[in-house]
Amino acid sequence: MEDRNGEIHIDDNEASAGETSGHMRWVLGISTLIAVIALSIVWISGALTQGDAEEEATLSGTIEAQSDAEGDETDSIIVDDQIESDPSVD
């Protein structure tokens, strides 16, 4: 630290109070890589163990469930025998 004409001048190393060797970049890079790998393992293992109930919550599962029930498009009771009192029905 120098005092020039009443002004204080500080070196870059003294002002930063940090390390410039680049080790922290390695720590950041490696920890980010570990976090990405760990979260990918959790995501993939969860997808592999997904059951039928959870599968219907996805878009592809909903489409598949709708296509399976394509023949059952009625919401009412269907009666095969006709009502005998109606004269218009032969």
Tell me what pLDDT residue 46 has: 84
Of 31 and 61, more confident: 31
SS (H, E, C) the chain: CEEECCEEECCHHHHHCCCCCCHHHHHHHHHHHHHHHHHHHHHHHHHHCCCHHHHCCCHHHHHHHHHHCCCCCCCCCCCCCCCCCCCCCC
pLDDT score recorded for residue 11: 79
Percent of the chain with pLDDT strictly greater than 70:
57
Average pLDDT over residues 41-57: 79
Closest CA to 47 of 64, 32, 65, 60: 60
**Which of 12-16, 50-54, 57-61, 66-70 has the weakest average pLDDT?**
66-70
Look at residue 81 and tell me whether its pLDDT is greater than 80: no
Q: What is the pTM of this model?
A: 0.44
- pLDDT above 70 (res 84): no
